[in-house]
Amino acid sequence: MFSVTLTLSFSNSLTSHYPITQTLASSFNKNLRSFLHNPAAPRLHCSPTAPATRDLLPIAERMATVKHKILVLSGKGGVGKSTFSAQLAYALAAMDYQVGLLDIDICGPSIPKMLGLEGQDIHQSNLGWSPVYVESNLGVMSIGFMLPNPDDAVIWRGPRKNGLIKQFLKDVYWGELDYLVVDAPPGTSDEHISIVQCLQETGIDGAIIVTTPQQVSLIDVRKEVSFCKKVGINVLGVVENMSGLCQPLRDVKFLKVSEQANKKMSLNGLCNA
């Protein structure tokens, strides 16, 4: 009789919410013993492990100089999440705070374009990677600065995305920051789990969720709120974009044009009819 141990690696905060380890263990035991037709077949033990200390310690050292960390999230794409992140970073910088803007949308980085930083390069010093500064107190980091061609597709699986996010957190030298604004991609998958797992030990102030009024957006945004609850992130607020436009109109009248009036306007060259 022997046993096989399977170790699954999850975020500490996620493990308590998902009974996946016991489910997997039970399923594997049942299938394996059924396959072998032997009650004495090896049993499978699953145990979650904490994130690698070799990653968390240098991240904690970098983040020790950052006072506040804010995530900008949305379950839906195209709702103005990156636009809001850029505006929030600009607004905080205008209040004389030291601000960093981290773009972790690996497959669709928009921040360099929005801030007019296309074509900028990342420089490395003995302190680490230097952010690209749009203002003296506003630094930006994005994979968009690393692409030789802005039209190149980033075709990466989860582990490579996670690795780059960890490298951003470990290697970028922000200096003393009052606020770090993190612009995340839509959804609740690899990038979101990685950023929460890596930053939660150092303290995340909360998340701002961006949506539009349409039901198709609200359906996904509710999932994002659920994600925040499950991983223990405070929702600081919800921003509704594209909800309406208020524009004063003066001296405007809407009239039904009769055939006679239409002919008069044609004679006066006011219309082509």
The model's confidence at residue 272, banded by pLDDT at 50, 70 and 90, is low
**DSSP string computed for 74-119:** -SSSSSSHHHHHHHHHHHHHHTT--EEEEE--SSS--HHHHTT-TT
Q: pLDDT for 100-157, tens place per residue?
A: 999 999 998 999 999 999 989 888 889 999 999 999 999 999 999 998 888 888 888 9
DSSP state of 209: E
- Give per-residue pLDDT as tens, 153-189: 888 898 899 999 999 999 999 999 999 999 999 988 8
Q: Where on the phi/psi map is residue 34: left (φ > 0), alpha (ψ -120 to 50), or beta?
A: alpha
Percent of the chain with pLDDT over 90: 51
Q: What pLDDT, on a 0 to 100 scale, did the predictor assign at position 152?
A: 86
**Closest to 172 (Cα-Cα) out of 131, 120, 200:** 131
d(CA 173, CA 170): 8
With vertex at residue 64, the alpha carbon angle to CA 60 and CA 70, rounded to the nearest 5 degrees, is 90
pLDDT confidence of residue 125? 86
In this structure, the chain runs to a length of 273
Q: Is 128 left (phi over 0), alpha (psi -120 to 50) or beta?
A: left
Closest by Cα among 28, 34, 35 to 3: 28
Average pLDDT over every residue of 186-203? 89
Buried b (16+ CB within 10 A) or exposed e, 168-184: bbbbbebeebbbbbbbb
Residue 49 binned pLDDT confidence (cut-offs 50, 70, 90): very low
Q: Which CATH number applies to 54-240?
A: 3.40.50.300
